[in-house]
Structure 1
Amino acid sequence: MTDLQVSRPVGVDERVQDLLARMTLEEKLAQIVGFWEKSDGEAVAPLQGEFTREQTLDDASRHGLGHLTRVYGTRPVDPAARARWLWSFQRRLVRETRLGIPALVHEECLTGLSAWRAATFPTPLAWGASFDPELVTRMGEVIGSSMRQLGVHQGLAPVLDVIRDPRWGRVDECISEDPYLVGTLGTSYVRGLQSTGVHATLKHFVGYSASQSGRNFGPVHAGPREIADVLLPPFEMAIRDGEVRSVMSAYVEIDGVPVAADPTILTDLLRGTYGFDGTVVADYFGVAFLHLLHDVAPDLGDAAGQALAAGVDIELPTGDAYLEPLAAAIRAGTVDEALVDRAVTRALRQKAELGLLDATFDDEPPTDVELDSTEHRQIAARLAEESVVLLTNDGTLPLRPGLRVAVIGPNADRPEAMFGCYSFVNHVLPHHPEVGVGIDVPTLRQALAAELTGSTVVSARGCAVDDDDRSGFADAVRVATEADVAVLVVGDHAGLFGRGTVGEGCDRDDLELPGVQRALVEAVLETGTPVVLVMLTGRPYAVGWAVERCAAVVQSFFPGEEGGPALAGILSGRVNPSGRLPISLPRSAGAQPFTYLHPTLGGDGDVTNLSTKPVLPFGHGLSYTTFTHSDLTVEPTATTDGPLVVTVRVTNTGERGGDDVVQLYGRDVVASVTRPVAQLLGYQRVHLERGQTAVVELVVPAARLAFTDRSGERVVEPGDLDLWVGPSCAERETQARVTLTGDVHRVTPADGRWTGTVVR
């Protein structure tokens, strides 16, 4: 299905074509660029300082304007006051420009609306740990409602990059190393956000996370089969099933061709194969980077022409290439104006969908703006609780009442430790140190002091996140020695471009805890006091030594504004942990890149002396109760073009209620190309009280079994398929084999990608 075949309200195409026919070249170009009002020192995007184009908003919008960039998210502003400004500006566009078209307002919304005083939810890696698409949908709904209230039309989220190397700084923005988990949760977010009338934007199409050595912007050397079978499925799911309205092109090059200049990806695949009919926006400055970084364009005008020809409709965040340089190239005859017309048509269609072509802004802007309501915080709390992963526990957790608890570590009493790099707190506020956080963020020390009534809580910092100062070790050792148990809170500080230990442009060449944190942990362990290690991070670290030596280890991927109380609830036992690892816990940086989706020769064996086995596998996570899985049932044969219907019995065999994540894995025993030794085919979060049993039915469509064959087609082949359910990808607690019969099935859109689930 092409972009011209989609069903639209009667008259939209005619109206868009009428507007296009009346536009001057300057008016056309104005509709396919953004404007970003920013000041010196507000560098919140890569290489922002390379662009010195001086222009006021009034000058930039005299012919109209396509996008307003980050109206609320560039600096701390009062939301109601900024809304008044925005409504006034939009009225001016409607009343004083020749065509009267308002601007489309976009904002970052990866962990909530990235604005001062707005609710900040767990980072996407925590979504992955929750295995809870319904809750992610609810989160998307409340985020979208906040954005819509403020006159925001498009959100630059979710990130659907499949994690390929934990050394990459942007891991904290990603959901998982598994494409199916990424796709289901990402599509859930899209559905939630778009249900409120705000367009979601898929990032980053495609290949960004497969960069060389886990380095930001690094070249991508992935083969076509890895791209098709691992990196693309989440995007296809969100396009076909989520009906997403916007896609962002990736910065990277694949096999020497920058994505932003590749029509085989942005047009043939995205629009032709997937049927996407929305707008493609450039990642910030990505068009100019074709000239400045990729060296495939001699100047900005040529870069603009290449990007337009490839299928990039909108240049963000500003018009560095799509304004004067593109106009000059068109007048010189080196770029066809028809490419501009195509992009403008798509931009105007999007504005029509959003109601902007009829908007007058004669209504009053909101005056009572609540961006961090009780509902926001309830969803944030539940998602934080569900995402905490208990990695190991010798019985020290939950903590007994009446203990003397030492809370130690650089992240024990730091609100910023709860948030990822695209949170407003860590993305923008570092440029405004005089401004407060704007939302209530209990630290883990504060939350534990409130949670552990009847216990004594003492604290010591020990060290910073990322320096070599050990002067605080002695105090940490002292309070640990005097305590019954030490809760040691370590991890990351999220930032951008070298200003953090994780985040965009904060890549690593090792996977040790940053700074001297490992030395702090070892010093506290030497006291003999039981140590509960709590990791607040944006990536998994190589902490096998800690898993072996600590009484308990808790992993929390930046859990958001309610992360402190959520973690305190886990440690006290008020909350039963139920998170599962969305990414393997690595053995070492030298064993990377690693994914559980590896073929036989990607794992351990006699052909090498080096082990690739992770410290803990994908899907691992402990509970304060126990679950058993039994009676995996599937028909012994099925056709290659039909779904598999699988049932499994799950029982809570422990002493308290809790949530289990039922995980169904499969392996193609013999195929025409090498296949992973395990692949997630379905999952379901189930709550069971003590002694309760449920039967979970998982429906696996043919597309979940498909892979790219030697000819480049996605197929399901006949043959044997092993299925199993267990507490992780590595353990077959109950299993069965099914034989697929019939001809080789070539997968079509009708095969679907979602797993249907029934719990009874």
Structure 2
Amino acid sequence: MTLAEKLAQIVGFWEKEDGEAVAPLQGEFEAERGYDEITRHGLGHLTRVYGTRPVDADAQARRLWGQQRRLVTGTRLGIPAIVHEECLTGLSAWKAATFPTPLAWGASFDPELVEEMAALIGGSMRDLGIHQGLSPVLDVVRDPRWGRVDECIGEDPYLVGTVGTSYVRGLQSAGVLATLKHFVGYSASRSGRNFAPVHAGPREVADVLLPPFEMAVLDGGVRSVMHSYAEIDGVPVASDPRLLTDKLRGEWGFDGTVVADYFGVAFLHLLHHVAGDLGEAAALALTAGVDIELPTGDAYLEPLAAAVAAGTVDEALVDRAVLRVLRQKEELGLLGATFEDEPPSGVDLDSPEHRRVAARLAEESLVLLSNDGTLPLARPRRVAVVGPNADRPHALFGCYSFLNHVLAQHPGAEVGLEVPTVREALVEELADTEVVAVRGCAVDDDDRSGFDEAVAAAASADVAVLVMGDHAGLFGRGTVGEGCDRDDLDLPGVQRGLVEAVLETGTPVVLVLLTGRPYVLDWALERCAAVVQAFFPGEEGGRAIAGVLSGRVNPSGRLPVSLPRSSGAQPYSYLHPALGGDGDVTNLSTVPVRPFGFGLSYTTFAHSDLVVDPAPRTDGTITARVRVTNTGERAGADVVQLYAHDVVGSVSRPVAQLVGYRRVALAAGESVEVELVVPTTRVAFTDREGRKIVEPGELELWVGASCADKEASARTTLTGDVHAVTTADPRWTSVTVR
């Protein structure tokens, strides 16, 4: 291969138009050259063929097949391109099914269902000739003010790792490569600002931020990893070989491809200022281990070619990246593909099976935060549905949904999906009830002119359902989403004022929150009859919410993030050591309004008879058995949560740490024994010398309704020598229900 042919294999091509701003700082780069010009020597990736604008899938498939044929017949080597798309909440394509956002996956505590969802997403992608998906996001939530919280699974590394790895397995089972985002540290940005520096210590990186990625590599066999935009302690990840080569490949044995986050190589020059020009940026990234520059070849084409010619970059580094790309194309069956067959047509991107899984995941993810008995609704005569998100389809979707990510920039295009709003779903659900809808206010402005109409509607109703929350968008175009960070955690705009005005009527208020982050809600939990938290529940989310309000659906979601006491109390994590909790040395409480793992039901559950192995070895497993009983009068699903605390450690340890969980469906009065076999690696940590170890000593374990509820507890003592953790050690808790 010539150098030009090699470089062509490690870059992408993105055919975009003016106004299609779906990546940061797109305007900083020159207009893209045409397809024929850019592909003279071949091409590594085709970027977002379906997901850049609303295009008919059949027509675009025919166009894609033509582009691939030209690569096969019109270049010397005849190698097709890998096609990649976003797929965080479903394939990012017009009229494709849109599932709940990852924060809702975390709230479901149901990795098996997430795997089923991902397999459906992967099947749609494979059918359209797409080879790689840029998901899942494995960033651990560290500060809810950060705009990209809605793309994350939760604040616990084990929850993120198990759910995220299940997504990887599902997507790759369909023959589509998953891509881990954003390796690593992106979510730990200072003050919750996008692209802000990260000042996490090496132990926080090793014990909190890296484990989900390690699980997805070692347990999920993921085939691609995307570097994060972050700089950790002054070193941009895109230029850090310790992470991208030593950790990822040397320690974990990853043998797939590392792709750049969009324009991330160029940002080494433009934003981080660790490179004097794009050639230097290319040299840093390539040396560190970034194999493929996405979405285009701003640094890896002419600037890198010039650096190789000048002798400042060893061409062997280019060869290393090209071989990784070609190996992946061989795995995908592309090296012998001709694209002489007919392109796909009539692919059902939103089939009844997509809908079934979307509905079930939406239902399982809804978290009941408070309830004075008003829910489920008892056949009300008249319901007032109030709020900016009550009758807005976009309110059900996250930032990386096609509706909010792409269609927002094409206002004339139809949605292309059946998306019942909360109002529409309630009209359908409550067939004998008069439903009156009033907007009241916008999501994020100061206009209170609609308050009076909303108050009047609520005053004449038996119950008022107030649907509040976020609008997901990009780069300041929303209240949550990429580049939509906040410096407070109050409900946006005048939404709190509207809720308080309706509360003054004396009509019972059910507050429904459609958000991409947790907000400060202590005032609402004290005064509202009930509060339901929905983390962007997707295309079937309106029906799921209506089902919970009517009682058709028994809520079973649990908080994947702590519900904050105040914005001033951030950043906060339930994984804090003893000094991070309440005490006599400060006048400020750290206790969240609702803890990690919290969620109410229309039935009740009891956890009893926790029995734990008395002396497990440090290099073994801990078996815990607990009895779970549905003590209420209707069927429901409990999430059994097992937590541990290392009583005395050589470094300070979290006061609580999730080490195992299982969703269990129980009939009224039913009782089962749940056995959790926990590898000791769940309580491993980085010691003072930087080694990941398991120490002998006493552990406290408990099961309860949240991390803060020690309903059934026990103690055990790890025995044996200090165990140095290796990649051969298991990381996954196995669960049996009897």
Q: TM-score with structure 1 length normalisation?
A: 0.97
Q: What is the match of residue 624 of structure 1?
A: 602
Cα distance between partner residues in 1 of 2:589 and 2:32: 55
Cα distance between partner residues in 1 of 2:353 and 2:408: 28
CA deviations 1:13-62 (Å, max 9, x no partner) are: xxxxxxxxxx1111000000000000000011000000014400111111
Q: What is the match of residue 211 of structure 2?
A: 233
Q: What is the match of residue 33 of structure 1?
A: 11
Cα distance between partner residues in 2 of 1:553 and 1:92: 56
Cα distance between partner residues in 1 of 2:562 and 2:431: 36
Q: What is the match of residue 715 of structure 1?
A: 693
Displacement of 1:91 after TM fit? 1.0
Cα distance between partner residues in 1 of 2:639 and 2:32: 54
| Counterpart pick for 1:521 among 499, 517, 529 | 499
Q: What is the match of residue 539 of structure 2?
A: 561
Cα distance between partner residues in 1 of 2:365 and 2:554: 11
What amino acid maps onto 2:631 in structure 1?
Answer: T
SS at match of 1:751: coil
| Counterpart pick for 1:325 among 303, 326, 334 | 303
Q: What is the match of residue 612 of structure 2?
A: 634
What amino acid maps onto 2:54 in structure 1?
Answer: P
Matched, 1:759 2:737: yes
Q: What is the match of residue 687 of structure 1?
A: 665
Q: What is the match of residue 213 of structure 1?
A: 191
Matched, 1:468 2:468: no
Cα distance between partner residues in 2 of 1:528 and 1:202: 49
Displacement of 1:210 after TM fit? 0.3
Q: What is the match of residue 10 of structure 1?
A: none
Matched, 1:580 2:547: no
Q: What is the match of residue 721 of structure 2?
A: 743
Q: What is the match of residue 381 of structure 2?
A: 403
Cα distance between partner residues in 2 of 1:105 and 1:742: 51
Q: What is the match of residue 248 of structure 2?
A: 270
Q: What is the match of residue 429 of structure 1?
A: 407
Q: What is the match of residue 502 of structure 1?
A: 480
Question: What is the 5 A alignment of 1:88-107?
Answer: 88-107=66-85
Q: What is the match of residue 37 of structure 2?
A: 59
Cα distance between partner residues in 1 of 2:537 and 2:152: 14
**Does the CA-based 8 Å contact 2:14-2:32 persist in structure 1?**
no
SS at match of 2:483: coil
| Counterpart pick for 1:140 among 104, 118, 123 | 118
**Does the CA-based 8 Å contact 1:53-1:320 persist in structure 2?**
no
What amino acid maps onto 1:566 in structure 2?
Answer: A
Q: What is the match of residue 195 of structure 1?
A: 173
**Does the CA-based 8 Å contact 1:537-1:558 persist in structure 2?**
yes
CA deviations 1:137-161 (Å, max 9, x no partner) are: 0000000000000000000000000
CA deviations 1:469-527 (Å, max 9, x no partner) are: 00000000000000010000000000000000000000000000000000000000011
Cα distance between partner residues in 1 of 2:513 and 2:503: 16
SS at match of 1:639: coil
| Counterpart pick for 1:533 among 496, 503, 511 | 511
Q: What is the match of residue 387 of structure 1?
A: 365
Larger CA deviation: 675-684 vs 359-368 = 359-368
What amino acid maps onto 1:661 in structure 2?
Answer: V
Question: What is the 5 A alignment of 1:436-447?
Answer: 436-447=414-425
Q: What is the match of residue 489 of structure 2?
A: 511
CA deviations 1:92-133 (Å, max 9, x no partner) are: 111111000000000000000000000000000000000000
Q: What is the match of residue 569 of structure 2?
A: 591
Cα distance between partner residues in 2 of 1:152 and 1:366: 11
Matched, 1:122 2:100: yes
What amino acid maps onto 2:575 in structure 1?
Answer: L
Displacement of 1:745 after TM fit? 0.6
What amino acid maps onto 1:31 in structure 2?
Answer: Q
Larger CA deviation: 392-401 vs 358-367 = 358-367
CA RMSD of aligned residues (A): 0.5
Matched, 1:257 2:235: yes
Displacement of 1:748 after TM fit? 1.2
Matched, 1:84 2:62: yes
**Does the CA-based 8 Å contact 2:380-2:462 persist in structure 1?**
no
**Does the CA-based 8 Å contact 1:93-1:102 persist in structure 2?**
yes
| Counterpart pick for 2:28 among 29, 50, 56 | 50
Q: What is the match of residue 679 of structure 2?
A: 701
Cα distance between partner residues in 1 of 2:670 and 2:11: 57
Which 5+ residue runs of structure 2 have no aligned equivalent? none
Identity, in percent, stands at: 77
Cα distance between partner residues in 1 of 2:590 and 2:484: 25
Q: What is the match of residue 711 of structure 2?
A: 733
**Does the CA-based 8 Å contact 1:702-1:747 persist in structure 2?**
no
SS at match of 1:143: helix
Displacement of 1:402 after TM fit? 3.7
Q: What is the match of residue 426 of structure 2?
A: 448
Matched, 1:355 2:320: no
SS at match of 1:749: coil
CA deviations 1:561-590 (Å, max 9, x no partner) are: 000000000000000000000000000110
**Does the CA-based 8 Å contact 1:137-1:189 persist in structure 2?**
yes
Displacement of 1:329 after TM fit? 1.0
**Does the CA-based 8 Å contact 1:666-1:678 persist in structure 2?**
yes
CA deviations 1:545-575 (Å, max 9, x no partner) are: 0001100000000000000000000000000
Question: What is the 5 A alignment of 1:159-170?
Answer: 159-170=137-148
Q: What is the match of residue 665 of structure 1?
A: 643
Cα distance between partner residues in 2 of 1:625 and 1:54: 58
Cα distance between partner residues in 2 of 1:103 and 1:640: 48
Q: What is the match of residue 72 of structure 1?
A: 50
